[in-house]
Structure 1
Amino acid sequence: MKQRLAICWLRRDLRLHDHAALYHALRKHSAVLPVFIFDRNILDALQKPFDLRVQFIHEQLRQLKGQLRALGSDLCVLYDYAGQAWQHILNTYEVEAVYANHDYEPYARKRDNEVAELLKTHHIPFYTFKDQVIFEKSEVVKSDGTPYSVFTPYARKWKAQLNDFYLRSYPTEKYFSSFLKPGEELPMPSLEAMGFRAKSFVFPPCEIREDIIRNYHNTRDLPALDEGTSRLGVHLRFGTVSIRELARKAQAWNATYLNELIWREFFMMILWHHPRVVTHAFKEAYDHIPWQQNEELFRRWCEGTTGYPLVDAGMRQLNASGYMHNRLRMLTASFLCKHLLIDWRLGEAYFASKLLDYELSSNNGGWQWAAGTGCDAAPYFRIFNPWTQQKKFDPDNRFVSRWVPEWQTKDYPKPVVEHASARERAIDFYKRHIRQT
């Protein structure tokens, strides 16, 4: 006879504490089994055998599995296409209900709709909850009900609506006795079984540092400072930290840091209301720009050999570590689009393939901001000067010297373009090709 239980489907919420879907599942059912699916629709598109994000998820799942085993329960981890994985679950267990947290990306919405239809044919309810943001979808909109497209008024409304209700944690621990007690340990696929291998790599700890956040407004633009930012991006991306806990502390400690959390939600809201931005400019007037097709310049940008030390340092940091300081994300993106006139979508895809904390909404929003094509974008005539940026944000050249040690030698390449002429060319290029409305 099949075991009767409820499922909590984990996706980008890899923790047991302060977890909306898990809280509701544990409260309403006496046998709850957490499930994670390594979705082949996603994994098959990744470069193998190394992907630090898959490795990070696998490590977090091993930790979760250990926590659940200590509670007498376990974690079910599957490797398959989502629909087939769910068919396997339904063949194995008598499922009373499925609980999950909202995901806002186009593929995730399509996948969830398909799973919901499958569950419906088996008369199994599928309950979903807000968890990875404070405000979602249309919770922060203009007075006429339409979504914002400019950050400042959105942030003002976001803060005005915020109260303790939205920041309250879900006390999942009160209901841990409701986890399923499966007896035998459930198997978990190894990285190798999924076609991946582990690199020797130390991921940033999931630690909310008060000293860093309180001083964030002073240190956030200095890439040479290893503790100038919280390095919690990957933990927000995969939900190993609670956004409610982080927002509570940001509200108490640093308004600038809180603003960064609001930017994240702003871009998620934009993606929800305007899914076309994944492949198109938010500003339609920019959709027909004839970007330059220069594979050599794109390669030089990717590998960090443009002849601009701070740009190259940022790209080399990304390639080596899966991380890039936010100031350098803006600089390198602006350089690709405006100095080299190369399509922002190519740069966005490159970042997507490398960033450990890759988030579709934020990556897309940041790139469109830099290219001038997005909502609330840097105007096309605002073009970062890489030399000025280096002087201002790496005044002692500590960061540049760490990642581009040859930058003051004859071995370092000459700049691929000259800044002043590239700036003039970019302004003229945009002016000629933006479609006037």
Structure 2
Amino acid sequence: MAPQYRRAVFIFRRDLRLVDNTGLNLARTSAASVLPLFVFDPRQINHAYFSKPGFSFLKQSVKELDTALKLQNGALLLCSGTPDKVLKTIYHKSAFDLVVFNTDYTPFSKSRDEAITTTCKELGVECIAVHDALLHPPGTVLSTTGKPYTIFTPFWKKAATFPVNKPSALAPGSWALLKEVEQLKLPFREQQEEKQKQQAQQGGREEGVRILTQAKRCKDYKTMRDIPSVNGTSQLSAHLKFGTISVRETYHTLRSTLGDTHPLLRQLYWRDFFTHIAYFFPHVFGHSFHKVYDAIVWSNDERANAAFARWCNGTTGFPIVDAGLRELNATGLMHNRVRMITASFLVKDLHIDWRKGEQYFAQHLLDYDPCVNNGNWQWCASTGCDAQPYFRIFNPWLQQQRFDPDCQYIKKWVPELAQLTPKAIHQLFLQQPLDLGSYPKPIVEHKEAASHAKALFAAIAQKQ
């Protein structure tokens, strides 16, 4: 059967792979040839939430994708600009009759894709968007009343009853010839970024597959995932964010390797859940999920700004908090347990707006995912759906004693404390007259700060 279309353009975004790529397979089975396209959009690069480490990971992944295409006598067309305008330029140089891309779910993504759809209509070109990034797309996991879930557990129980599609190979088909791609000569400005001092992970599918095939090392995930000094987590978040591996590959590999009840699978559903929340309740970008908490008056004076700077730099005098921020600043990653501790500390101990922390994480995380980052911050801040109750506040001293008892993680990232015993480190809050050199004393007294946070939230909660 002859292909329905002559030439398709497939737009790569956060799906930087050839294998198990839903939209790409559709394009290859629908058109006689496919032109692979990646657009560096300046609106995403020149943005207040721009992640330098994430961009470095992205570039590595794009480069590897281009290499993979060239091994199949194809090539990735790299362009700078907005996708809708880029498509117009391509069309007038080399006409096509189909555009395909995988759907994304943030407000920016929806607006961008609406512009692409409008452009395609103007050009008389078919435009098809398909779901690919999640186990189950928004709208497929609903309550008995047809509404989206806002509590994770019932969402997970419902979603877990649905089958997850098996990964698919690259569909047969043809690429646009390399010489055709080169002849287009579209504007492309090489994007430069600051190199991370010690980037924790490399981008590209080869590295993503390598990590995924080592899934057996996560067999003790339930007991080891909260220990920041050991490599007890999946290390897959950045590869899932940029799609060097698919969520379906990940799900079925973990399930077959670790068992269908392994707790690591549950984390994939948390990823789906936060994305569904962002899709159905887009106000979460910039506002509390529970809007009543937008009325909280956060600390925002000169003293608070100085405290925020100390939090960012890892100089709060709380060792586990400082270790986490220093790990983030140096590598682009932070252990998940420590992410919760540092986020809680910013909001509940320093009384600083969670949105400032959300943005700082966005700018520095290698695996920054807008929906997941927002969901996690609002959980820690007690402003989100199914969030930590405001009166439950992490005690950083108890957290570090429980999850880093020997201070291996702390001593790695806070070398000023390397000569102290774990007991001395866990008791720094007693303000003992120790010679700590350049390491600062605790910026606040936790018990007092926590009491103030409870009062802030209680005053608002009473108005509900």
TM (norm. structure 2) is 0.88
Q: C-alpha separation between the residues in 2 aligned to 1:103 and 1:33?
A: 20
Q: C-alpha separation between the residues in 1 aligned to 2:180 and 2:121?
A: 30
Question: What are the superposed Cα offsets for residues 383-423 of structure 1, whole Å, 9 maximum, x if unpaired?
Answer: 00111111111111000000001134232111011111112
Q: C-alpha separation between the residues in 2 aligned to 1:262 and 1:312?
A: 30
Q: C-alpha separation between the residues in 2 aligned to 1:320 and 1:102?
A: 32
2:457 paired with 1:430: yes
SS state at 1:301 partner = helix
User: For the Cα contact (< 8 Å) 1:39–1:79, is it kept in 2?
Assistant: yes
**CA spacing shift, 1:286–1:46, aligned 2, 3 Å:** closer
Q: C-alpha separation between the residues in 2 aligned to 1:343 and 1:198?
A: 29
Shift of residue 191 of structure 1? 9.9
Q: What's the counterpart of residue 261 of structure 1?
A: 268
SS state at 2:458 partner = helix
Q: What's the counterpart of residue 168 of structure 2?
A: 170
User: For the Cα contact (< 8 Å) 2:84–2:115, is it kept in 1?
Assistant: yes
- From 226, 232, 255, the counterpart of 1:228: 232
**CA spacing shift, 1:288–1:188, aligned 2, 3 Å:** farther
- From 177, 193, 198, the counterpart of 1:196: 193
- From 231, 235, 241, the counterpart of 2:245: 241
Q: C-alpha separation between the residues in 1 aligned to 2:27 and 2:188?
A: 29
Shift of residue 195 of structure 1? 4.3
| Greater Cα offset, 409-418 or 426-435 | 426-435
User: For the Cα contact (< 8 Å) 2:167–2:248, is it kept in 1?
Assistant: yes
What letter corresponds to residue 282 of structure 2 in structure 1? Answer: P
What letter corresponds to residue 405 of structure 1 in structure 2? Answer: P
5+ long unaligned stretches in structure 2: 421-435
Correspondence list, 1:287-306, <5 A: 287-293=294-300, 294-306=304-316
**CA spacing shift, 1:285–1:367, aligned 2, 3 Å:** same
**CA spacing shift, 1:121–1:95, aligned 2, 3 Å:** same
TM (norm. structure 1) is 0.93
Shift of residue 79 of structure 1? 1.2
Q: What's the counterpart of residue 122 of structure 1?
A: 123
Q: C-alpha separation between the residues in 1 aligned to 2:160 and 2:264?
A: 13
**CA spacing shift, 1:197–1:317, aligned 2, 3 Å:** closer
Correspondence list, 1:388-427, <5 A: 388-407=398-417, 408=420, 409-427=436-454
SS state at 1:167 partner = coil
**CA spacing shift, 1:386–1:154, aligned 2, 3 Å:** same
User: For the Cα contact (< 8 Å) 2:78–2:188, is it kept in 1?
Assistant: no
Q: C-alpha separation between the residues in 2 aligned to 1:192 and 1:123?
A: 29
Question: What are the superposed Cα offsets for residues 299-336 of structure 1, whole Å, 9 maximum, x if unpaired?
Answer: 11110011100000000001111101100110000000
**CA spacing shift, 1:10–1:348, aligned 2, 3 Å:** same
2:221 paired with 1:216: yes
Shift of residue 194 of structure 1? 2.7
Shift of residue 202 of structure 1? 5.8
- From 9, 20, 23, the counterpart of 2:22: 20
Shift of residue 171 of structure 1? 2.5
Q: What's the counterpart of residue 183 of structure 1?
A: 179
**CA spacing shift, 1:285–1:199, aligned 2, 3 Å:** closer
What letter corresponds to residue 246 of structure 1 in structure 2? Answer: T
Shift of residue 81 of structure 1? 2.5
Question: What are the superposed Cα offsets for residues 7-35 of structure 1, whole Å, 9 maximum, x if unpaired?
Answer: 11111000000000011111111211110
Q: What's the counterpart of residue 95 of structure 2?
A: 94
Root mean square deviation, CA, Å:
2.1
- From 327, 349, 355, the counterpart of 1:345: 355
Q: What's the counterpart of residue 5 of structure 1?
A: 7
Q: C-alpha separation between the residues in 1 aligned to 2:48 and 2:73?
A: 35
Shift of residue 229 of structure 1? 1.1
Q: C-alpha separation between the residues in 1 aligned to 2:112 and 2:92?
A: 19
Q: C-alpha separation between the residues in 1 aligned to 2:379 and 2:285?
A: 13
What letter corresponds to residue 143 of structure 1 in structure 2? Answer: T
User: For the Cα contact (< 8 Å) 1:285–1:435, is it kept in 2?
Assistant: no
Shift of residue 189 of structure 1? 9.7
Question: What are the superposed Cα offsets for residues 51-99 of structure 1, whole Å, 9 maximum, x if unpaired?
Answer: 2222222211111111111111111111112332222222222111011
SS state at 1:193 partner = coil
User: For the Cα contact (< 8 Å) 2:327–2:413, is it kept in 1?
Assistant: yes
| Greater Cα offset, 304-313 or 248-257 | 248-257
**CA spacing shift, 1:189–1:67, aligned 2, 3 Å:** farther
What letter corresponds to residue 171 of structure 1 in structure 2? Answer: A
Question: What are the superposed Cα offsets for residues 98-156 of structure 1, whole Å, 9 maximum, x if unpaired?
Answer: 11101001101000001100110111111111111011111001011001100011010
SS state at 1:9 partner = strand
What letter corresponds to residue 177 of structure 2 in structure 1? Answer: K
Q: What's the counterpart of residue 44 of structure 1?
A: 46
SS state at 1:126 partner = strand
Q: What's the counterpart of residue 368 of structure 1?
A: 378
| Greater Cα offset, 17-26 or 202-211 | 202-211
**Count of matched residue positions in the alignment of Structure 1 and Structure 2:** 428
Q: C-alpha separation between the residues in 2 aligned to 1:95 and 1:180?
A: 11
User: For the Cα contact (< 8 Å) 2:200–2:333, is it kept in 1?
Assistant: no
Q: C-alpha separation between the residues in 1 aligned to 2:121 and 2:453?
A: 53
User: For the Cα contact (< 8 Å) 2:49–2:362, is it kept in 1?
Assistant: no
Q: C-alpha separation between the residues in 1 aligned to 2:404 and 2:215?
A: 24
Q: What's the counterpart of residue 331 of structure 2?
A: 321
5+ long unaligned stretches in structure 1: none
**CA spacing shift, 1:376–1:8, aligned 2, 3 Å:** same
What letter corresponds to residue 239 of structure 1 in structure 2? Answer: G
- From 374, 380, 405, the counterpart of 2:390: 380
Q: C-alpha separation between the residues in 1 aligned to 2:41 and 2:248?
A: 27
User: For the Cα contact (< 8 Å) 2:80–2:189, is it kept in 1?
Assistant: no
